Structure 1
Amino acid sequence: MVDPGCRASGIPPVEAGEEAEIARRLAQFERFGVNLGLARIEQLLARLGHPEKQVPLVHVAGSNGKGSVCAYLSSVLTQAGYRVGRYTSPHLVSWRERLCINERPIAAADLSAVLAQVEAVIPPSQEMPTQFEVLTAAAWLYFAQQAVDVAVVEVGLGGRLDATNVCEHPLVTVITSLSREHWQRLGPTLADIAREKAGILKPGCPAVIGPLPADAKAVVAARLAELDCPAIWPAPARDLGQGWAAVAGHHDGAVGQGEEEFIPSPWRYRLPFPGPHQLINSALAIATLRCLQAQGWAIAEAAMTTGLAQARWPGRLQWLTWQDDRGQGWPLLVDGAHNPAAAMALRAYVDSLELAPVGWLMGMLVTKDHRDIFQALLRPGDHLHLVPVARPYLRGSGRARCDRTDHLPPARHL
């Protein structure tokens, strides 16, 4: 049977048996949980012949916005004629979404095969890698085997000790934003979290940094100066209306030695994603592309315009139609906001539609900041329906199918 969820995520459908084989291979590593550190992934990559050293890298970290920035970069570089790998997480429907080349998810057979290659070099006598480390190693191996020109890689969690942080000389590093997320693992303060995010910065390598809280900005700025990184802090693009934006030719302040300015003014482009937060996400992507141009990468203005407009990032402020048992369709807005900052961005977009009240159907893990998220999202008159999150390691009442909502009234006002 073909997975119907592929239609919403935009990935080519495959037989469920092929997806089950991928899930089986990865499930054996799930019990090792999240265990930040670089020793296991470095040992694993060494046994694979260091594929990460064969792949030029654009490395993207941040609390929010990094997925959109990766989508913009991958789309533009594909339009420019390059063979582009993209590694992001988490996925919506299929593990295959995480590994893409030129906007196409890896084939199920190819992912199963590359996972088998990674499994084959894991010695049972040593500490086992985590699921994310195995998948990250598979991504590096696949991109090297496919001889990509560049890989756009999203940090999984934090930065300094994340399994993606294994390249000594990235082309560009990007920190999109920073908020108090995953503080249980990264540290209780914004400064602590900033130190972890800044761990992806490398000596002399260009960096593009989004707007940060003052405490976090000071930490990142100090690290940039210490490493002598050319850095740019682009201002958000200007909203021109009707889905158009323009970048300005300035940034918001000097950051250490070696800073350069790459963005011309003015430059107009069409935004493919709704929401005011895309004004900064797109500006970050454009600044990153200008950094690559300055290094000699051939990225024509037409490729940038087309690539930005054609970028796709499903499940983020995406409009779908929910059809009830009577065959009547209802508009449904789908988004992955999972922290207060993202919830504020989601609410700002909903408020721009001037529709109220709103019906919310939500599921969250217990580790999230529920109170702050609800405070950011909910307004008087809104209706909130909570559902458990379906996760393979949850049992009994902790599991639920998100499509079992026939007992709920339709969200007529969304």
Structure 2
Amino acid sequence: MIELGLARITRLLKDSPISWRAIHVAGTNGKGSVCAYASAMLKAAKIKSGRFTSPQLIDRWDCITIDEETVTEKLFYEAENVVKARDHSEDIKASEFELLTATAFEIFNQEKVEIGVIEVGMGGRQDATNVLEHPSITVITKIDKDHETFLGTTMEEIAYQKAGIMKIGVPCIVDGSNNPAVVDVLRKNAREVKAASLVLVPQETELQHEIWSTLPKDQFEDHQQMNVALAFEAIKQTLAHKTPTIKTHQLLPAIQKTRWPGRLQIMSIEPLSGRKQDILLDGAHNQQSAKVLGSYVDRKIRQSGRPVTWVVAMSKGKNVHEVLSSFLRPRDNIVAFYFGPVDGMPWVSPEDVNIILGVAQSLDALGHRVGDSQELDGALRVAVDIAKGGPLVIAGSLYLVSDVLRLLRTAEQAR
């Protein structure tokens, strides 16, 4: 189960104090991309850095990187064993995510990173990563309704939880395209905690010119442009005092090499299904990210006029109608499926396919049932047969993305 709070993680780390500076990133959408862009720029600056994001995509340790390289399985388990021994000896009873967070921080200490780029797991105020008492900078990306059982049912309540990562004397960088009510909450919180500053991005034309005079703007979707700007401003402020001789804009080309799996990812599933045409894989799992996906598909993939075939799984507790209505169109095909057990997250379970299909049919999409005993590769073959060479998109859950990538890796290793 999910247990928010800082008491257990604080006890876990009391004998292993954080020895590195942090860029701490909260928000609903875009957190992972901002972290990826920021750590790519740190590597380009030759600053030893670590990155911790969640959830993992394939293996439990792939959410932790050092200088943009995933940590080894051996290093991960060695650090995890240290953390688990501490948890056991002191009877802390830490949650799975707290153990994972402490393991990442332990690795960063061992590897002597200079800067850690840390993504909040859920919310911010009571998230395990908020044990970071003295980050160099905090970043808050786009905020939307998500995890409402834990964070609140209104945008203002959710924004209050995200704002909890702000710290006294620490600058905070915010996605300025957020709902005005969200921005008001963030401004108020910044004043109350005496944050050093609150910068809304993008509002300075100078910042925008600095970025897009170096990078080809048209190669980035609108939401990606915002995430680039947030990451750039975070790195710019972080390095201003540490290494003022580095010209931050010279680090921007590193962003073009960044690959963030499961986010508008064009890929082949031929080893699984025999399909020759590429498909689109995206982890959109709430209304905001689903709208971004729907807009992208409408602009880039529906040009042939053919209906899109979707393979969809969702987590229990999500608003199925809000998500599906953001990208499904009349006459689209949808194959609903279940993702498998999530390693380290036993509380996560998939939504009933009958609920997904019922909502899809109410939106005039054509639902296709897959047998309960059907494996994922079988479900993909069903979708490929339905698509008949037309557009095919896999979406609805990062856990489904993980299953696809894991299955594809296994198939490629067996070749």
Q: TM-score by structure 1 length?
A: 0.81
Q: Give the equivalent residue in structure 1 for 2:316.
A: 366
CA distance in 2, matches of 1:270, 1:352: 19
Which of the numbers 296, 300, 304 marks the counterpart of 1:349?
A: 296
Q: Give the equivalent residue in structure 1 for 2:239.
A: 293
Which of the numbers 378, 389, 401 marks the counterpart of 1:404?
A: 378
Which of the numbers 224, 247, 261 marks the counterpart of 2:190?
A: 224
Residue 76 of structure 2 is aligned to residue 142 of structure 1: no
Q: Give the equivalent residue in structure 2 for 1:320.
A: 267
SS at match of 1:336: coil
SS at match of 1:74: helix
CA distance in 2, matches of 1:59, 1:380: 41
Which of the numbers 197, 203, 206 marks the counterpart of 1:249?
A: 206
Return closer, same or farther for 1:226/1:321 CA change in 2, 3 Å cut-off.
same
Q: What is the CA distance between 1:271 and its match in structure 2?
A: 6.3
Report if aligned partners of 1:275, 1:348 keep a CA contact under 8 Å in 2.
no
Report if aligned partners of 1:159, 1:196 keep a CA contact under 8 Å in 2.
yes
- What is the identity percentage for the equivalent residue pairs of Structure 1 and Structure 2? 32
Q: Give the equivalent residue in structure 2 for 1:123.
A: 88
CA distance in 2, matches of 1:184, 1:387: 24
Report if aligned partners of 1:78, 1:102 keep a CA contact under 8 Å in 2.
yes
CA distance in 2, matches of 1:266, 1:77: 19
Q: Give the equivalent residue in structure 2 for 1:244.
A: none
CA distance in 1, matches of 2:375, 2:61: 21
Residue 130 of structure 2 is aligned to residue 165 of structure 1: yes
Report if aligned partners of 1:270, 1:308 keep a CA contact under 8 Å in 2.
no
Listed as ranges, the matches of 1:7-406 within 5 Å are 33-46=1-14, 48-50=15-17, 52=18, 54-123=19-88, 126-210=91-175, 211-229=177-195, 230-235=197-202, 248-249=205-206, 264=210, 267-270=213-216, 274-298=220-244, 299-301=246-248, 303-323=250-270, 327-353=274-300, 354-355=302-303, 356=305, 357-392=307-342, 393=346, 401-405=375-379, 406=381
CA distance in 2, matches of 1:266, 1:279: 9
Return closer, same or farther for 1:160/1:272 CA change in 2, 3 Å cut-off.
farther
More helix by share: 2
Q: What is the CA distance between 1:209 and its match in structure 2?
A: 0.2
Q: What is the CA distance between 1:125 and its match in structure 2?
A: 6.8
SS at match of 1:126: coil
Return closer, same or farther for 1:398/1:364 CA change in 2, 3 Å cut-off.
farther
Unaligned stretches of 5+ residues in structure 2? 353-370, 392-415
Q: Aligned residue pairs: how many?
A: 358
SS at match of 2:24: strand
RMSD between aligned residues: 2.5
Unaligned stretches of 5+ residues in structure 1? 1-32, 237-246, 252-262
SS at match of 2:65: strand
Report if aligned partners of 1:276, 1:345 keep a CA contact under 8 Å in 2.
no
Please identify, of 307-316 and 145-154, the stretch whose mean Cα deviation from structure 2 is larger. 307-316
Report if aligned partners of 1:61, 1:154 keep a CA contact under 8 Å in 2.
yes
Return closer, same or farther for 1:326/1:143 CA change in 2, 3 Å cut-off.
closer
Q: What is the CA distance between 1:293 and its match in structure 2?
A: 3.3
Return closer, same or farther for 1:301/1:399 CA change in 2, 3 Å cut-off.
farther
> How far does the alpha carbon of each residue in 1:302-359 deviate from its partner, in whole angstroms, 9 at most, with x for none?
6422211111211110111122788441211000000000000011111221434211
CA distance in 1, matches of 2:372, 2:178: 36
Q: What is the CA distance between 1:385 and its match in structure 2?
A: 1.0
Q: Give the equivalent residue in structure 2 for 1:413.
A: 390
Return closer, same or farther for 1:91/1:75 CA change in 2, 3 Å cut-off.
same
SS at match of 1:295: helix
CA distance in 2, matches of 1:398, 1:200: 43
SS at match of 1:181: coil
Please identify, of 301-310 and 81-90, the stretch whose mean Cα deviation from structure 2 is larger. 301-310
> How far does the alpha carbon of each residue in 1:90-139 deviate from its partner, in whole angstroms, 9 at most, with x for none?
11111121110011101001111111111111136734111000010011
CA distance in 2, matches of 1:202, 1:398: 49
> How far does the alpha carbon of each residue in 1:188-210 deviate from its partner, in whole angstroms, 9 at most, with x for none?
11111111000000011011000
Return closer, same or farther for 1:325/1:307 CA change in 2, 3 Å cut-off.
closer
